[in-house]
Amino acid sequence: MKVTKAELAHVAVKREQYPTSRLPEIALSGRSNVGKSSFINKMINRKALARTSQRPGKTQTLNFYEINEMIYFVDVPGYGFAKAPKPEREAWGRMIEGYLQDREQLKAVVQLVDVRHAPSADDKAMYSWLKHFDIPVIIVATKSDKIPKGKWQKHLSVISKDLQKVESDPLLLFSSETAQGKEQVWNTILHYVSK
Ligand code: GDP
């Protein structure tokens, strides 16, 4: 996929602010620090269009990146605010659930997990919530450059088993350092977009 144009087109905290153009959307979800901003920047060939590390306490927004006037990447604020105050967690939940449920042009969610670690309780809760609503998930295991190649398969098996991954959901390795997996993830996204 050759990205010729990418821009942050919409920033939303409520439904009225979502785009109305009906382009297909791919949402990106993962706990803070998993490498989501690096993933977006790598996929669209930008150094820093997506901001890195949204910290708890900052305003949580849904960021719609329009790519090639063809598709939106929807950056969902990082979860894993176990230490955040309850009202903030609840506001996050309402906004994300409100978006993910009942969004016709949402084609799939890319859920990012760190390939080095077994999925967290938040990772598991997020995945099972998405499955409950029958939303297709592309699981992307980030930071593959941080473990030796010989260990990839074992780590992927743990992720697959712990998440109780359904067979139809792809699980792909990715590195924003080496660009490993970039084309494969793009091809997978385009497959879901054209479905
Ligand atoms: P976010 O909070 O999910 O948006 O995560 P960031 O994209 O800000 O990444 C968090 C940290 O992990 C940063 O220090 C990144 O440089 C680092 N990082 C992200 N992706 C990779 C990767 O694929 N390989 C390596 N080695 N580091 C990464």
52: pLDDT confidence band, cut at 50, 70 and 90? low
Question: In this predicted model, what pLDDT tens digit does every residue of 29-47 receive, in sequence order?
Answer: 999 889 999 999 999 998 7
- Rounded Cα distance between 81 and 145, Å, is 26
Atom of ligand 1 nearest to the CA of 54: 2
pLDDT averaged over every residue in the chain: 91
- Regarding the beta carbon of 29 and ligand 1, being less than 6 Å apart is answered no
- Regarding the beta carbon of 32 and ligand 1, being less than 6 Å apart is answered yes
- Rounded Cα distance between 64 and 7, Å, is 8
User: Bridge partners of 138?
Assistant: 110
Of residues 165, 191, 73, the one with CA closest to residue 113 = 165
- Rounded Cα distance between 153 and 16, Å, is 43
pLDDT of residue 46: 85
Atom of ligand 1 nearest to the CA of 176: 23
pLDDT of residue 58: 59
Predicted confidence (pLDDT) at residue 18 exceeds the cutoff of 80? yes
Beta strands 6-12 and 62-67 are antiparallel
Terminal CA-to-CA distance of the chain, rounded, Å?
17
Question: Residue 24 Cα, ligand 1 centroid: separation in angstroms?
Answer: 26
Q: Which helix (H) or strand (E) holds 151?
A: helix 149-163
Q: What is the DSSP letter of 143?
A: -
User: In order of start, what are the domains of the chain with their CATH numbers?
Assistant: 6-193 (3.40.50.300)
Query: Does ipTM come in above 0.90?
Result: yes
Q: Are 173 and 181 in contact (CB under 8 A)?
A: yes
- Regarding the beta carbon of 111 and ligand 1, being less than 6 Å apart is answered no
What residues contact residue 14 under an 8 Å CB cut-off, 6+ apart? Answer: 95
**Residue 182 three-state SS:** helix
Question: Residue 191 Cα, ligand 1 centroid: separation in angstroms?
Answer: 26
Count of all residues that appear for the chain in the document:
195
Question: In this predicted model, what pLDDT tens digit does every residue of 71-113 receive, in sequence order?
Answer: 999 999 877 655 667 777 787 778 888 899 889 999 999 999 9
pLDDT of residue 82: 55
β-sheet with 25-29: strand ranges across:
6-12, 62-67, 71-75, 25-29, 106-114, 137-142, 171-173
Structure-token match 């820093």, residue found: 48
pTM above 0.90, yes or no: yes
Of residues 106, 115, 157, 94, the one with CA closest to residue 136 = 106
